[in-house]
Chain A
Amino acid sequence: GENVEQHPSTLSVQEGDSAVIKCTYSDSASNYFPWYKQELGKRPQLIIDIRSNVGEKKDQRIAVTLNKTAKHFSLHITETQPEDSAVYFCAAKNFGNEKLTFGTGTRLTIIP
């Protein structure tokens, strides 16, 4: 089955700087890659997603890149703000299946 690795497990960034979180996946059939933000005690909230027919997607300060050959994808947050502090999870899915396989999470802390 699919296995998703996520790095780093914790990340501290000065406010205003950029943050990058990286994930690798094992199943070459995976073709959908969402990113979720989870604040303490709250639901995972979808912040951006990308499908395998696209190499990059951007939404304001957030961008995701996908390298299908290397089977890795990354989340980029620019101009970080204190409210970006949360745990971020990557996930992977094959459109033929229902199961989302999550990474182990990255705790992002923005230092004011």
Chain B
Amino acid sequence: EPEVTQTPSHQVTQMGQEVILRCVPISNHLYFYWYRQILGQKVEFLVSFYNNEISEKSEIFDDQFSVERPDGSNFTLKIRSTKLEDSAMYFCASRAYDQPQHFGDGTRLSIL
């Protein structure tokens, strides 16, 4: 069964540094998402992306965040100047038209 893949599995970064989290969605999917989950808490929506543009974003997704689909396979989340409170598990998800969202295994981001 095809899966959403995310790299790296764990990223450790100094506060203030930029970080890029990478995702390869399932190949025939057209809708892409980033969610985050702070340890022990619920999954929170960050942003959705369709047709090469952001279709929806949450209040968490402020100017320090950006997303990009640089080629036909990758989907990235960039955090420009990381803060301690950005420490969380970040999940990428994708879906086909009128189908459920499928999640990747996540990237654990630790900000020191």
The interface of chain A, by Cβ under 8 A from chain B, is 34, 36, 42-46, 49, 89, 91, 97-105
Tell whether, in the assembled complex, residue B105 and residue A46 are in contact, meaning their CB atoms are under 8 Å apart. no
Q: Which residues on A sit within 8 Å (CB–CB) of B48?
A: 98-99
B75 at the A/B interface (Cβ < 8 Å)? no
CA A101 – CA B33 in complex, angstroms? 13
3 interchain residue pairs of minimum CB distance: A98-B48, A43-B103, A98-B56
A105-B58 CB under 8 A given contacts A42-B105, A46-B100: no
Closest A-chain residue to B4, C-beta based? A43
* Cβ < 8 Å to A, chain B residues 35-85: 35, 41-45, 48, 50, 55-56, 58
- Total number of residue pairs linking A and B with CB closer than 8 Å: 46
Count chain B residues whose beta carbon lies closer than 8 angstroms to a beta carbon of A.
22
Tell whether, in the assembled complex, residue A103 and residue B100 are in contact, meaning their CB atoms are under 8 Å apart. no
* Cβ < 8 Å to A, chain B residues 71-112: 91, 100-106
CA A42 – CA B43 in complex, angstroms? 13
Q: Which residues on B sit within 8 Å (CB–CB) of A42?
A: 105
CA A102 – CA B103 in complex, angstroms? 14
Tell whether, in the assembled complex, residue A103 and residue B91 are in contact, meaning their CB atoms are under 8 Å apart. no
